Structure 1
Amino acid sequence: MSLGARARGFVELTRPGNAVAAGVLTFTGAFVAGASLGDTLVVVAAVLATVFATGAGNVVNDYFDRDIDRVNRPDRPIPRGAVTPAGAKWFSVALFGGAIVSALILPLTAIAIAVVNLVALLAYTEFFKGLPGVGNVVVAALTGSTFLFGGAAIGNPLGALVLCLLAALATLTREIVKDVEDIAGDKKEGLRTLPIVVGEQTSLFLGGAVLLVAVAASAVPFLNGAFGVAYLGLVVPADIVMLVAIAQSFDDPPLAQRRLKHGMFLAAFAFIVGRAASLGVAP
């Protein structure tokens, strides 16, 4: 295999789109929590730490999931032979190192969040993924915590609390839908994911109930006066996209989980616009 193909394989392992998106979420958390130009250095450090840690976590996940992926995702780098398991392991170590170095200048609260997330990332695939619902909750908490991490980087971790809760709940729904999508490979590997234990339809109804709580939470910034009509004009369409997606999940889980992701990012953008409007700089 050519050097270029191997290099592409390493990049693919990180899922660069997801890693960069996680960095954007950290920036969003910092911005919503009140970041100013004086916070530029710590915000950049927090974003880099998030990108490195997310990429490392994705590599670790593919390392442990390499047998499952031969069924569910045979086109991923390890199953197709672009990257060896050993190469993936050492690549993840380097990425985690980058995350640690990036986080060193951050406040203690942010470092504490980073440490907890780092442990959760390392433990997820080996210990939590196969436990019914537990793995889903861990991933949801990690996603929501990116916003808290951004706020903590500027000394205000609770400034993005509502956004954290919304993202965590929406992610929990999406993870349940993804487990329904991956049920064949998970059964072959002997995992006990939520759809395997309680059934696909029951899992999807549970995911829908969780999403309804997330949609309700999205109204809080408008109802308490923190954000105005600009926020509402974006978060309502985001909520509609996610609600339609969970309805579609009963017939087409792959399409539904992608649309849930789109709705989540639109909701995060609504928080950015809401914060900008409160500062008088939104269009």
Structure 2
Amino acid sequence: MSVAGTVRGLVELTRPVNTVAAGALTFIGAFVAGGAFAEPVATAAAVGATWFATAAGMAINDYFDREIDRINNPERAIPRGAVSARGALAFSLALFAGAVALALLLPPLALGIAAVNLLGLVTYTEYFKGLPGAGNALVAYLVGSTFLFGAAAVGDPLAGGVLAVLAALSTFTREVIKDVEDVAGDREEGLRTLPIVMGERRALVLGTVLLIVAVLASPVPYLAGTFGVWYLVVVVPADAVMLAAAYRSFDDPEAGQQLLKAGTFVAAVAFVAGRLAAP
């Protein structure tokens, strides 16, 4: 494998779209808390720590999942030989070190959130992924906590609370849909994911119910006076897209997951719009 091929493989391990999105959610958390520009150093450190930690989590997940990926995702960097398993592990450890270095610049509460999240990322695949619902819940927490982390970095963690819950619920649904996609490889590896334990359709129903709860709760920031009316203008289409994604996932889990990602992105835009239009 050429140097260029290895570099490309390392970049793929970080899942650039996912890592940039995680950093953006952390920034939104700081922005909603009113400190993104008032505390630029803390905000930058929080966003950077999130990027490094997410990239490290993605890389170490691929390291532990390398045998499953030979079945479910043979095109990924390790199965196709672009990066060795040992190289992926070393790369992930270097990324974790970068996350820790930046997190040490933050206030104690933000540092505590970072420590919990780093532990969750390291233990996810080895200990939680194969437990029915536990892995889904951990990933949901990790995504939701980016809002808390960004808000805590600038001194107001409660400002990101509602957003964290909404993001966590929608993420749980997306993780269930992903498990439905990966049933073949997960069953081969002996994992006990929700679709394997309770059946694919029942798992999707559970995910849909939780998503409906998130949609019903989505007006809360506006009703509480935290966000302005533009939040509702943007979040209503986001809710519609996410509900459509849940419906689509019963026939086409891959398409449903991609549609849910799009809806989540629109919801993130709604948070920014709502803060800009806050009373």
TM-score (normalised: structure 1): 0.97
1: distance between equivalents of 2:185 and 2:206? 22
Secondary structure of the corresponding residue to residue 278 of structure 1: coil
Q: Describe how 1:4-83 pairs up with structure 2 within 5 A.
A: 4-83=4-83
Amino acid across the alignment from 1:194: L
Amino acid across the alignment from 2:50: T
Secondary structure of the corresponding residue to residue 37 of structure 1: coil
Q: CA deviation at 1:227?
A: 1.7
Amino acid across the alignment from 2:227: F
Aligned to 1:212: 212
Amino acid across the alignment from 1:171: T
Aligned to 2:246: 246
2: distance between equivalents of 1:29 and 1:217? 18
2: distance between equivalents of 1:36 and 1:255? 34
Secondary structure of the corresponding residue to residue 38 of structure 1: coil
Aligned partners of 2:31 and 2:37 also within 8 Å: no
2: distance between equivalents of 1:113 and 1:226? 23
Amino acid across the alignment from 1:28: I
Secondary structure of the corresponding residue to residue 75 of structure 2: coil
2: distance between equivalents of 1:252 and 1:276? 37
Q: CA deviation at 1:62?
A: 0.1
Provide, for residues 124-176 of structure 1, a one-character-per-residue CA deviation record: whole Å limited to 9, x for no partner.
00000000010000000000000000000001111011110010000000000
2: distance between equivalents of 1:190 and 1:158? 40
Q: Describe how 1:45-194 pairs up with structure 2 within 5 A.
A: 45-194=45-194
1: distance between equivalents of 2:112 and 2:38? 22
1: distance between equivalents of 2:271 and 2:37? 19
Q: CA deviation at 1:225?
A: 2.1
Aligned partners of 2:30 and 2:154 also within 8 Å: yes
Secondary structure of the corresponding residue to residue 105 of structure 1: coil
User: How many residue pairs are counted as aligned between the two chains?
Assistant: 279
Aligned partners of 1:165 and 1:217 also within 8 Å: no
Amino acid across the alignment from 1:56: A
User: After TM superposition, where is structure 1 displaced by more than 4 Å over at least 4 residues in a row?
Assistant: none
1: distance between equivalents of 2:264 and 2:65? 26
1: distance between equivalents of 2:278 and 2:158? 18
2: distance between equivalents of 1:215 and 1:270? 13
Provide, for residues 235-274 of structure 1, a one-character-per-residue CA deviation record: whole Å limited to 9, x for no partner.
0000000001100111000000111111111111101011
Provide, for residues 105-135 of structure 1, a one-character-per-residue CA deviation record: whole Å limited to 9, x for no partner.
1000000000000001100000000000100
Aligned partners of 1:169 and 1:210 also within 8 Å: yes
1: distance between equivalents of 2:57 and 2:139? 11
Deviates more, 1:99-108 or 1:35-44: 35-44
Matched, 1:226 2:219: no
Secondary structure of the corresponding residue to residue 227 of structure 2: coil
Q: CA deviation at 1:36?
A: 4.8
Deviates more, 1:29-38 or 1:240-249: 29-38
Amino acid across the alignment from 1:254: E
Q: How much identity, in percent, do the aligned residues show?
A: 61
User: Can you give the 5+ residue segments of structure 1 that lack an aligned partner in the other structure?
Assistant: none
Aligned partners of 1:162 and 1:217 also within 8 Å: no
Provide, for residues 14-33 of structure 1, a one-character-per-residue CA deviation record: whole Å limited to 9, x for no partner.
10111111000000011011
Aligned partners of 1:163 and 1:268 also within 8 Å: no
TM-aligned CA distance change 1:36 to 1:13, over 3 Å: closer
Amino acid across the alignment from 2:102: S
2: distance between equivalents of 1:114 and 1:225? 29
Q: CA deviation at 1:38?
A: 2.7
TM-score (normalised: structure 2): 0.99
2: distance between equivalents of 1:57 and 1:211? 25
1: distance between equivalents of 2:224 and 2:252? 37
TM-aligned CA distance change 1:150 to 1:184, over 3 Å: same
User: Can you give the 5+ residue segments of structure 2 that lack an aligned partner in the other structure?
Assistant: none
Amino acid across the alignment from 1:236: V
